Amino acid sequence: MTALFNYKLKGTDGLARTGVISTPRGEIRTPAFMPVGTAATVKAMMPESVAATGADILLGNTYHLMLRPGAERVARLGGLHRFMNWEKPILTDSGGFQVMSLAGLRKLTEQGVTFRSHIDGSKHELTPERSMEIQRLLGSDIVMCFDECPALPASDKAVAESMRLSMRWAARSKEAFGDRPGHALFGIMQGGVTPELREESAAALTGIGFDGYAVGGLAVGEGQEAMFGVLEYAPGFLPEDKPRYLMGVGKPDDIVGAVKRGIDMMDCVLPSRSGRTGQAWTRRGQVNIKNARHQDDPRPLDEACGCPACRNYSRAYLHHVFRSQEMISGMLLTWHNLHYYQEIMAGMRAAISEGRFAAWEAAFHALRAEGDIEPV
């Protein structure tokens, strides 16, 4: 166990990479998928269950936790790890994206953002310095710089101005973060879908110097083709010896495509949100358990899956508890989805290490193209 944060690149296959991020709270195997625990919980899951799926790290959210229960309260109660009973690493995002997408009556200035809470309308200010303070109080292992994330599509002028503001905020975030051994600060590349702006952003961030780097401003409405287009070049602007994090992604084929293009870390609410709405992600694609075709089906969601939902319950039962609005429906389907996502990551790590990523990717897409098993 290390007392410091570091990253070791262990193998590559094409642009795909596998490695290990070491933290005082444990190792994070990359490529890594981070389940989202927005408000100090992965919805419908116990922390022990999340760990059992193979997750090495969770994501918590600065915006939501600052509003409720409050960062100072979490600190008084022993920090976020103790508060939510998760001993492994936690990454907290900066709150910038939620301020832009959720908060009301926003006012953006050079200093930061003032906004009204989406919960009760109370007024707050979030700046790079305050974001760093909140994340310090929470005690997260990986801290994200405070940035602005404009929705796409947007004009090049608007994207450039936003990116440059984020780079000034990145420098302020680094200064406010200070010297915190064992904790890491990641910078966030912006620049929309314009290579020159992405390169300018990467140069600014590497000039400041961070423990890791995120590719931000994607998965915000631009579509998979445009996202992959950016990922063809953007990771190459970042240091090879630091982890690369693609924020807010995504569907299984998004994740595989991102890893193929050099990404090491991802997060998304999709597997847990889908689980609560009756959608399961499987090797053969998406299954809507709400559909009547499942009501007499004694087979599991996925015969090859070892999660509790597939080991112990039929499609017919999962259909019944969803239609009956029973809580166990969201619990079982979320567990399955998170288990499947971690199986994807484990499969890619092994394939990259063994130099067979292209074959693994081809098999992944071929099985998904076959679609779900035929109805009974």
What is the amino acid identity at position 61? Answer: N
Is-catalytic flag, 13? no
DSSP, res 36: B
Is-catalytic flag, 147? no
Token representation of residue 19:
């490695």
SS (H, E, C) 267-333: EECHHHHHHHCCEEEECCEEEECCCHHHCCCCCCCCCCCCCHHHHHCCHHHHHHHHHCCCHHHHHHH
Counting DSSP H helices and E strands in the chain, the numbers are: 15, 16
The bridge status of strand 113-116 relative to strand 26-30 is: unpaired
Sign of the alpha-carbon dihedral angle for 226, 231, 237, 238:
positive
Give me the catalytic one of 56, 93, 297, 302.
93
Strands (E), the chain: 6-13, 16-23, 26-30, 32-35, 58-61, 90-93, 104-108, 113-116, 123-126, 142-144, 184-189, 212-215, 244-246, 265-268, 279-282, 285-288
CB 284 within 8 Å of CB 364? no
The bridge status of strand 285-288 relative to strand 279-282 is: antiparallel
Give me the catalytic one of 254, 267, 297, 302.
267
The bridge status of strand 142-144 relative to strand 90-93 is: parallel
CB 284 within 8 Å of CB 368? yes
Give residue 285's region: left, alpha or beta (phi > 0; psi -120 to 50): left
- Any idea what the Cα angle at residue 101 is, between residues 96 and 105, rounded to 5°? 95
**Cβ count within 10 A of residue 181:** 8
**Whole-angstrom Cα distance, residue 281 to residue 257?**
17
- Which active-site residues does the annotation give? 93, 267
